[in-house]
Amino acid sequence: MNIRPIRTDADHRAALKEIELLWNAPEGSEDGDKLDILVTLVEKFEEGRWPVEHAQWDPVDVLQYAIDEMGHTQAELSKILNSRSRASEILSRGRMLTVEMIRDISEAWKIPSDLLIKPYKATAAA
């Protein structure tokens, strides 16, 4: 078992990929133990990276952070939302996120949905 601490976003992405591969590992097996350890490490990293109870960020700030700091792009967001204009409207606060959008973004970018469901104000009527 080769497990290392998660210190960077790249380490985080690598751990999430490994978790995906191990997801259905039997409990108590070597792969199951590795999965348990990786999940614990990812949770700890995410608590420090995105402290939900202290976060002053709204969902648009979280998306902008993902684009600016985590290597995602507005083009990726457009693909997730199936619309360039919808992605642009959300990032400019002209449109509110829907539950379906939150689920899709959370799954695709591995962002905890708790960070995307907080209320925020749009600049235009949503």
pLDDT at 2: 81
Distance CA 7, CA 89 (A): 33
Burial 27-42 (b: 16+ CB within 10 A, else e): eeeebeebbeebeebb
Distances (CA, A) of 78 to 9, 46, 72: 22, 25, 11
Residues 57, 49, 66: CA angle, nearest 5 degrees? 60
pLDDT at 98: 93
The predicted pLDDT at position 101 comes to 95
CB 59 within 8 A of CB 118: yes
Asked if pLDDT for residue 87 goes beyond 70, the answer is yes
Judge whether 84 and 78 are in contact, CB under 8 Å: yes
DSSP one-letter string for 28-53 = TSHHHHHHHHHHHHHHHHHHHHS-GG
Residue pLDDT, tens place only, 16-59: 999 989 988 999 999 999 999 999 999 888 888 776 654 578 89
In the predicted model, what is the mean pLDDT of residues 84-88?
95
CA distance 42 to 48: 10
Helices 74-81 and 84-91 meet at what angle, rounded to 10? 120
pLDDT in tens, 88-98: 999 999 999 99
pTM over cut 0.85? no
Q: What is the pLDDT of residues 90-120, one digit of tens each?
A: 999 999 999 999 999 999 998 988 889 888 8
pLDDT at 126: 46
